[in-house]
Amino acid sequence: MPQHPSQPAAVILAAGKGTRMNSDLPKVCHEVGGRPMVCAVVDACQAAGCGKIVIVVGYKQELVRAALADYDVQYAVQDEQLGTGHAVLCAKDALASFDGDVFVLCGDGPLIRPSTLETVLQRHRSQHAKATLATSIIDNPDGYGRIVRDDAGKFVSIVEQKNATPEQLQVREVNPSYYCFDCDALFKGLDRVERNEASGEYYVTDVPAILMAGGAHVEVIDAVPPADVLSINAPDDLQEVDRIFRERSSVGGPA
């Protein structure tokens, strides 16, 4: 697909196994709405105008490729699971000739709406940001990275739950993993991400704070409806997301 300068790109993370799903399938291949859930994420990116979509694959990647056989996408391979930052870095070669804005999204978030991506992109571009994060305020933030702000309400960083202080764990504004970056800034930031001591992984969530420390403008927008945030970590979650997805599809699909 030819890339127009105004068209964003997308990197969709789809390399994980999903160890709590009690299945040998890659997590993103579990079905929501009768199709592998990653299809809904690609659909949303296409509907939001993405001209290049890169799928980062790893565990049983042949199944993910088969699930997306009818889509015009490219692939990048993450041979070793070293975190989200490392996963995005694996897509660097696929975006070598791309100069523009790029979404970074998770393949296990099938409740994503094209309108949310469009809102994020509009804010990102209107504010000339190098990174824009879409956040959500939810009643039960357990399991999600928290949005840390200073006393004036200004964004400071994203803190993963496993690294959060007791005070930070009380924060209800979470990171549902909807990012938009200037592509060049993204990879320059990733080059500076350090391995997390607690997990041994490299987090893409560190990039916004790194860019801010270098003087870049980072936008944060509460743009993700709480109903869209539900993550799929276990079979019960899958059933609930499938129910919501089918209900939404019955009234015309996600906007």
3-state secondary structure the chain: CCCCCCCCEEEEEECCCCHHHCCCCCHHHCEECCEEHHHHHHHHHHHCCCCEEEEEECCCHHHHHHHCCCCCCEEEECCCCCCHHHHHHCCCHHHCCCCCEEEEEECCCCCCCHHHHHHHHHHHHHCCCCEEEEEEECCCCCCCEEEEECCCCCEEEEECHHHCCCCHHHCCEEEEEEEEEEHHHHHHHHCCCCCCCCCCCCCHHHHHHHHHHCCCCEEEEECCCHHHCCCCCCHHHHHHHHHHHHHHHHCCCCC
Residue 149 known to be catalytic: no
Which among 20, 192, 195, 246 is annotated as catalytic? 20
How far is residue 11's CA from residue 250's CA, in Å, rounded to a whole number? Answer: 28
Active site residues: 20
